[in-house]
Amino acid sequence: MKREKKEKDPVILLLDGIILLLFFVLLVTAGTAAFYRKMADKRSFTQDPGMISFELQKGDYAGLIEGKYFNEFNNETESVSYHALADYVEAAFLYRIYDTKGDAERADAQRLLMEESRAAMGELSIFADRADEMLGTGGT
């Protein structure tokens, strides 16, 4: 027996269309709300690993160091390896000054910090090598 074809209710079809539309609106709204919520929860200057990585690719080593300090002051520990890299860059930056000016005591302290930081940065040591090249601390 041929089954009778069900007639679709046009009102239900319209409502289904509205639901589909609202679903996409809801998705976009939820994404936007999550973004602003995250922004609102964050401290003014803290940086996540993605942001630090982006800045690092651009050559923003100053931002790397500052980002580390702001993260530390606000108990953001997500970017541990980047923090180690920031410590390394800062220590290497100071090392070159103290070493050039003959301040052995302060230079040694920075040298020690460099070694400790390099051990904690994992895969990011490639950036430490780049920093050495940039700061002229590679041959030390």
Partner 1 sequence: MKCRYCGSNLGMDDAVCPYCGRENEQGAGHRALMSEARDTYDRTRKETVYKARTAGRIGRLIVIGLMLAAILTLWIGIRRDSDIEAREKQYEKRIAGEISRNGEAVAETLREMEENREYLAMNCYMLNYRLRSNEAYQDYARVFTAVISYGAICDDILNILGDFDGYQEKTDRDWCEDAAVYISDWDRYVGGAFWHDPPASPMHKGEHGAFLVDIKKDTQDMVQVYFGLTDAQASAMWEMDPESLGALLYESYRATAPEG
Which stretches of the chain bind partner 1, using CB under 8 A?
9, 11-12, 15-16, 18-19, 22-23, 25-26, 29-30, 32-33, 36-37, 39-40, 43-45, 58-62, 65-66, 69-70, 73-74, 89-90, 93, 96-97, 100-101, 134-135
> Minimum distance between the CB of residue 106 and partner 1, rounded to whole angstroms?
9
> Minimum distance between the CB of residue 123 and partner 1, rounded to whole angstroms?
20
Nearer to partner 1 by C-beta: 1 or 39? 39
Tokens found for residue 60: 């923003």
Nearer to partner 1 by C-beta: 28 or 80? 28
- Cα distances (Å, whole numbers) of residue 134 to 58, 89, 125, 126: 14, 10, 14, 12
Rounded to the nearest 5°, which phi and psi values hold at 65?
-65, -45
> Minimum distance between the CB of residue 43 and partner 1, rounded to whole angstroms?
7
| Distance from the Cα of residue 57 to its chain's centroid | 12
State the Cα–Cα distance between residues 1 and 15, nearest whole angstrom.
Answer: 32
> Minimum distance between the CB of residue 81 and partner 1, rounded to whole angstroms?
19
Nearer to partner 1 by C-beta: 18 or 104? 18
> Minimum distance between the CB of residue 119 and partner 1, rounded to whole angstroms?
21
DSSP labels for 11-73?
HHHHHHHHHHHHHHHHHHHHHHHHHHHHHHHS-SS---HHHHHHHHHTT-HHHHHHHHHHHHH
Nearer to partner 1 by C-beta: 93 or 120? 93
